């Protein structure tokens, strides 16, 4: 997936399109921690992208934070544009990382785990997360289910000031989906450059994710909606997970 994020203009589109989600996500997690009286001093955000979520969350909760992403372009953007001395951004693979530090909270947002197509690598990610958490600390992430795979739109359209993007979704076997992205970037003379790129996602059954988490030692596994409320999991296209070491 690295070429997808490191080529073309996707980083700028990513920053704009994920802003609302990032702010809501940080508020929901903050409220959850406060309501449960959970004290967190530091956070590791996997697939941190441009650092938008981590920056907002750590400022809101007065934490130190570390972001990890395998896209060099994303990390360069974060280091250049995020002005927060309490944050560090590292280039690395969330399915195979070793940091000489443990955390009170590890997060992974934007259904990033759906981009892990190999089951063993997904299992390795959960092992790495468990090993980098303090005892009693939390791992929070979200993922898309096969319900989104079945019911999702074939085309999605995104329009910003200097960008237009069309995302075409093509269903394949084994819960795989191919996304064809067509990006139209406005130039200084009001013409457009067309960029075409692709990426795959894999959709996971909730029971499979729960089994992996249990097998790797996680407990008190909660499957929640976007507001961290309990609901009928079978109705959710995206599930938000809270679990504990």
* pLDDT tens sequence across 105-129: 999 999 999 999 999 999 999 999 9
pLDDT band at 8 (very low <50, low <70, confident <90, very high): low
d(CA 91, CA 125): 15
pLDDT in tens, 38-56: 999 999 999 999 999 999 9
Burial of residue 120, with CB atoms counted within 10 A of its CB: 0-12 exposed, 13-18 middle, 19 or more buried:
exposed
Contact 20, 51 (CB under 8 A): no
167/177 Cα distance (integer angstroms): 12
pLDDT band, very low/low/confident/very high, at 2 (cuts 50, 70, 90): low
Give percent of the chain above pLDDT 70: 97
Summarised one tens digit per residue, pLDDT across range 134-178 is 999 999 999 999 888 777 778 888 787 778 888 899 988 888 999
**CATH topology for 2-146+204-244?**
Rossmann fold (3.40.50)
Task: Tell me the pLDDT of the chain averaged across its residues.
Answer: 91
Strands 103-108 and 87-91, bridge-based pairing: unpaired
Q: Above 80 in pLDDT, residue 4? A: no
CATH class entry, domain 148-202: mainly beta
Q: Can you tell me the mean pLDDT for 176-191?
A: 87
Q: Where in the chain is the domain with CATH 3.40.50.150?
A: 2-146+204-244
Question: How much is the pLDDT for 21?
Answer: 86
Q: What is the pLDDT of residues 192-214, one digit of tens each?
A: 888 888 899 999 999 999 999 99
For the chain, give every residue range classified as CATH 2.20.25.110.
148-202
What does residue 92 show for φ and ψ, rounded to 5 degrees? -175, 170
């Amino acid at each position: 997936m690295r070429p997808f994020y490191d080529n073309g203009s996707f980083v700028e589109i990513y920053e704009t399109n994920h802003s609302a989600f990032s702010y809501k996500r940080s508020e929901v997690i903050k409220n959850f921690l406060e309501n449960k009286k959970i004290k967190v001093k530091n956070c590791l955000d996997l697939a941190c992208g441009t650092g938008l979520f981590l920056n907002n969350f750590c400022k809101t909760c007065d934490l130190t934070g570390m972001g990890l992403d395998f896209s060099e372009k994303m990390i360069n953007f974060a280091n250049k544009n995020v002005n927060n001395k309490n944050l560090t951004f590292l280039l690395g693979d969330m399915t195979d990382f070793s940091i000489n530090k443990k955390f009170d909270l590890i997060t992974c947002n934007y259904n990033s785990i759906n981009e892990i197509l190999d089951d063993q690598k997904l299992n390795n990610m959960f092992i790495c997360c468990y090993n980098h958490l303090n005892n009693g600390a939390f791992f929070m992430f979200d993922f898309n289910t096969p319900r989104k795979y079945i019911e999702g739109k074939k085309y999605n359209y995104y329009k910003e000031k200097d960008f237009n993007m069309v995302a075409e979704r093509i269903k394949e076997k084994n819960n795989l989906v191919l996304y064809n992205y067509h990006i139209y970037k406005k130039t200084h003379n009001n013409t457009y450059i067309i960029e075409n790129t692709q990426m795959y996602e894999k959709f996971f059954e909730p029971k499979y994710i729960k089994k992996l988490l249990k097998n790797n030692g996680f407990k008190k596994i909660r499957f929640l909606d976007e507001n961290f409320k309990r609901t009928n999991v079978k109705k959710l296209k995206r599930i938000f997970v809270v679990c504990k070491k």
